[in-house]
Amino acid sequence: MKKLCNASAIAAFLTAVCFTAVSCNKTPSESTLPVEKELGVSIELTSATETSVSVDITAEKDAEGYIYAIGEAGKLNEFQNGTMEGIQTQNDPTVKSASFDGLTKATDYTIYAQAFAGEEKGNVRQLVVTTEGEPDFDLTTTTTIDNITEDSFVIRVEFGADTRTLVYGYGSADDLEAFENGTLSTITKVTNPTANTIIVRGMERGQEYTVFVQAVAGDKKGNVSTVSGKTLKLELELVLLEDELTSTSAVVEIRPGGDTSKYRYMLGSMELLDYFENGTWPDIMWENDVTAPKETQATGLTPGETYTIFAQPFAENGTRGETQIIEFTTPTADEAE
């Protein structure tokens, strides 16, 4: 009797286990699974001008609205965390059109858009758009003369940030067309200029010149700036007065002219030329009166010796002219008789 009861109990237990197992393996109905909302978004460019773009932003069916903005590339994180400047919200997802004004021509922009439903957000969509037009190049130039010498102009040049080559040349005022078409023989080109000073060389003394300057970037050219001026002509002549030459003295006439505003001079020998030109010899004398020739007398000379007189003209702006040199030999006592 005891064994029969045990068998019945075992059978009942197995039946219960099987029933439970079947119940556990049943597939839940669809209504019990969470439904993923469709919050995708698309962006389509509809028009672009030099200063604006228009797009259609289409959100998927479960969206309650979307946010959007325009800016530089690389602003995704700022857009997602809400710190990007200019984010706008559209609470009616049936409204698709969006416009952005006040843009810069020929510039790439990135449009960002993201749909939402309550606190839930979809993925961010990005679209790169480009405004119409040609980019602006800063190829402006302005020129002023800093200094003029006998054979050159020193010119201060301000040029635009987009300058890749600075082109300049000189001639007469009538040479503008030749400069613009590239046939002027004095044209010089400086690639990737950094200095704001150019020295235009090779001019002749005392001549009128016009310098042309233009900034270039590829096939783009800026305005042609011009400056005009006259090179200096520093004149200074040394003349030995033969009738005044003795065995112990000599008279030299210094004759200034042209643009000379002052000059320096001294008596010495050729070995002292460098000291004269660098201004370190103590016997150098200056003369500021250039309205008439000046006679300078050297005394206490030794008979039969060779002497040198140096003289150098200066312009009002400090420009130096060439050093003038005259050599003479005092006669001996016998020769002087």
pLDDT tens digit sequence for 167-193: 999 999 999 999 999 999 999 999 999
DSSP-assigned letter for residue 243: G
Is the pLDDT at 13 greater than 90? The verdict is no
* The overall pTM is greater than 0.85: no
In a domain, 27, yes or no: no
Residue 24: pLDDT over 80: no
Residue 270 resides in a domain? yes
> Quick one: pLDDT at residue 17?
44
Q: Would you say 284 and 314 are in contact if contact means Cβ atoms under 8 Å apart?
A: no
CA atoms in the 13 A half-sphere facing the CB of 219: 2
157 neighbors 143 (Cβ within 8 angstroms): yes
Residue finishing a domain among 181, 202, 230: 230
Per-residue pLDDT of 259-288, as tens digits, reads: 999 999 999 999 999 999 999 999 999 999
Residue 285, CB half-sphere, CA atoms under 13 Å: how many? 13
- Report whether pLDDT(65) > 60: yes
End-to-end CA distance of the chain: 179
Same domain as 174, residue 220: yes
CB 264 within 8 A of CB 280: no
Q: Are residues 145 and 212 in the same domain?
A: yes
Regarding whether 50 and 73 lie in a shared domain, the answer is: yes
Helix (H, G, I), strand (E, B) or coil at 9: helix
Instruction: Name the residue range of residue 49's domain.
Output: 37-130
Residue 195: per-residue pLDDT: 94
Query: pLDDT tens, 187-236?
Result: 999 999 999 999 999 999 999 999 999 999 999 999 999 999 999 999 99
Has residue 243 got a pLDDT over 80? yes
Domain-ending residue, one of 230, 262, 283: 230
CA angle 75, 81, 87 (to 5 degrees): 65
| CATH number, position 181 | 2.60.40.10
- Structural domains in the chain (count): 3
Same domain, 106 and 176: no
> φ and ψ at 12, to 5 degrees?
-65, -40
For residues 26-31, give the mean pLDDT. Answer: 51
Average pLDDT over residues 45-69: 97
Asked if residue 262 lies in contact with residue 290, where contact means CB atoms within 8 angstroms, the answer is yes
* Residues 242 and 335: beta-carbon distance below 8 Å: no
Q: Residue 257 pLDDT > 60, yes or no? A: yes
Work out the average pLDDT over 19-34.
51
